[in-house]
Structure 1
């Protein structure tokens, strides 16, 4: 395990993407969002994605320095085409569009289609919450067949994230952000590169055998080689049996089909689709009841007597706040295999050895 200081990690990852044809502004934006995912404990959506992103750029699946296009524009609704730009560029544009419309109308919807990987969806809920807005996000990943629906063994769904953000007066927002699979694909990636092991039975093989071995999803791989989910014989399982599978199906229809990205299927270009709703609590809650009631209810939940082995019952966002505090102070821990893969990618795009050494100083 290596531990990298936060600013060093952002600088280094920005250097990688600058060498991969992104503008300095885009490179730093990608680096900052990826590192923020690590800071919150979502390593699956953090800098481990660097080799994947660069590979996608080389194959033309993602386009550097792309400008998103608003193709439908009404007072309360917009459709934004990301034109396969980096998600860290086109998703903030879509969210900003939703925020601006919601400020005027009190309620807004934005459909983002054809975006590169948009990373941790909680970033976009936090962006809206910073402006005092509630947001709800349905997301899919077209071309990313990873998850078996309940009762099946074949890949038919993406990990189909769902996210809700709720602003708090003078406090961090409440953010619920999860894949509708037992684990996100990035967590399988982390496990395959020497990180945290998968929960028992997170994967299912073609014969119905439950497994937690990443090779079930990726097939055979070398420690620093690429991971390709099309080579594995198995799939990730949906969480919560029929409930998670059903929610994933809805994310595919709303985040994928309705946005124009398309519900996921094999053999097509990767793209994230996201359908987002924005609500201004000040318009709904004219008596200023909402925030006080959140405080009362959050305290009520946290005061629940915990089961044996649990220190305290938590609400969404509590684990991320704790991890962010620890890693901001101490640095971001990365498994050796993960760091080696990132360094190899840096060398491939021409990052200097001095820059690599500086990252770990």
Structure 2
């Protein structure tokens, strides 16, 4: 199904301004529009186009349908010195995420460890944003994400019917004497947004990403959006499936938003985050020395391809960010057209 596709390269500052105008027009206060826009564009800058500005039309549609409500703040349903569980009140995931992570970082700073949960919140975006926010505060963090039912696209290992979403996991480790480590990945073979981007580009998916509605493999990204739909497959077969199930339980049952279930029509994310401040209880010099020693040891492995050195979690994103900050963010023609059409529908310029 490949087709001829052209790309436009757009400066990240210009793209951020376009996104902010759109979100302001849909009802967001300027501060919220700025947060959502900045984090969507950051996803593009680091190469996670699946969680970038391609989602703008969807976000606007969520608002129009009442699935996401601008200018909300999360409400604590339980809180003590180390734990807080929040209802996101259908707010934008990016602005709610900043609110709850700020609270969690502060709790970990005082107590060494904190656990934050949130449910009933809009799409939380690139989960690495929250890992990086903790790293900036010098904290280790782990994040487990699910949806409450809408967006169930992934089949458990051995199954051909969807039972949960892509359920990403992100883990971050500061590195005072080098680059921090950020692991951020869906538990499915591909993030759903990557399939959306492939559909916009008109390109096929890699083998193993989807199983068609007839039970046979398919490389066509359109198959996920047809009725009956294809299902996404887990990364690493039973291992990825097991991680997805545990992420759903942690984010859904402990985080308070509920696990995936049928009959849910509105997309709502849930997240459980654990934050650790090693400065409270650990020997800082030992943590720094071991982090540097171990990461240097891993990097020193002889590469299979001499032209491609061994990378650590977070390296590909840093490399992509440097290139795209310099040369602009490439958007395929369909993605850019859909953003322009969304802007026009709101009577703003793109």
TM range (shorter): over 0.9
Corresponding position: 1:28 with 2:24: no
Contact residue 144 and residue 264 of structure 1 kept, 8 A: no
**C-alpha offsets along residues 9-29 of structure 1, whole Å, 9 cap, x if unaligned?**
000000011111111111111
Quote how far apart the aligned CAs of 1:197 are.
Answer: 4.3
Distance in 1 (alpha carbons) for counterparts of 2:220 and 2:306 = 27
Match of 2:292 in 1: 295
Distance in 1 (alpha carbons) for counterparts of 2:293 and 2:156 = 38
Contact residue 121 and residue 269 of structure 2 kept, 8 A: yes
User: Structure 1 residues 195, 98: CA separation in 2 closer, same or farther (over 3 Å shift)?
Assistant: farther
Give the alignment partner of residue 342 of structure 1, picking from 304, 323, 339: 339
Corresponding position: 1:117 with 2:114: no
SS of 1:101's partner is helix
Distance in 1 (alpha carbons) for counterparts of 2:284 and 2:69 = 47
Corresponding position: 1:243 with 2:239: yes
Contact residue 203 and residue 210 of structure 1 kept, 8 A: yes
**C-alpha offsets along residues 129-172 of structure 1, whole Å, 9 cap, x if unaligned?**
10000000111022221101100111111100001011121544
Quote how far apart the aligned CAs of 1:284 are.
Answer: 3.4
Contact residue 215 and residue 232 of structure 1 kept, 8 A: no
Distance in 2 (alpha carbons) for counterparts of 1:71 and 1:277 = 17
Quote how far apart the aligned CAs of 1:232 are.
Answer: 4.3
Distance in 1 (alpha carbons) for counterparts of 2:133 and 2:294 = 24
SS of 1:168's partner is coil
Match of 1:199 in 2: 206
Post-superposition, which runs of at least 4 consecutive aligned residues in structure 1 deviate over 3 A? Answer: none
Q: Root-mean-square deviation (CA), in Å? A: 1.4
Match of 1:278 in 2: 275
User: Structure 1 residues 310, 114: CA separation in 2 closer, same or farther (over 3 Å shift)?
Assistant: farther
Quote how far apart the aligned CAs of 1:248 are.
Answer: 0.1
Give the alignment partner of residue 146 of structure 2, picking from 140, 144, 154: 140
Distance in 1 (alpha carbons) for counterparts of 2:177 and 2:292 = 12
Quote how far apart the aligned CAs of 1:267 are.
Answer: 2.9
Corresponding position: 1:253 with 2:260: no
Alignment of 1:220-231 (within 5 A): 231=227
TM-score by length of 2: 0.95
Match of 2:49 in 1: 43
Distance in 1 (alpha carbons) for counterparts of 2:220 and 2:228 = 11
Give the alignment partner of residue 319 of structure 2, picking from 307, 318, 322: 322
Match of 2:4 in 1: none
Contact residue 144 and residue 265 of structure 1 kept, 8 A: no
Deviates more, 1:326-335 or 1:232-241: 232-241
Match of 2:3 in 1: none
Corresponding position: 1:151 with 2:158: yes
Quote how far apart the aligned CAs of 1:292 are.
Answer: 1.6
Distance in 1 (alpha carbons) for counterparts of 2:124 and 2:19 = 16
Give the alignment partner of residue 73 of structure 1, picking from 72, 76, 79: 79
Quote how far apart the aligned CAs of 1:196 are.
Answer: 6.2
Contact residue 163 and residue 178 of structure 1 kept, 8 A: yes
Specify every segment of 5 or more residues in structure 1 that has no aligned partner in the other structure, as ranges: 220-230, 357-361
Contact residue 164 and residue 175 of structure 1 kept, 8 A: yes
User: Structure 1 residues 103, 212: CA separation in 2 closer, same or farther (over 3 Å shift)?
Assistant: same
Deviates more, 1:19-28 or 1:258-267: 258-267
TM-score by length of 1: 0.92
Distance in 2 (alpha carbons) for counterparts of 1:256 and 1:36 = 27
Match of 1:5 in 2: 11
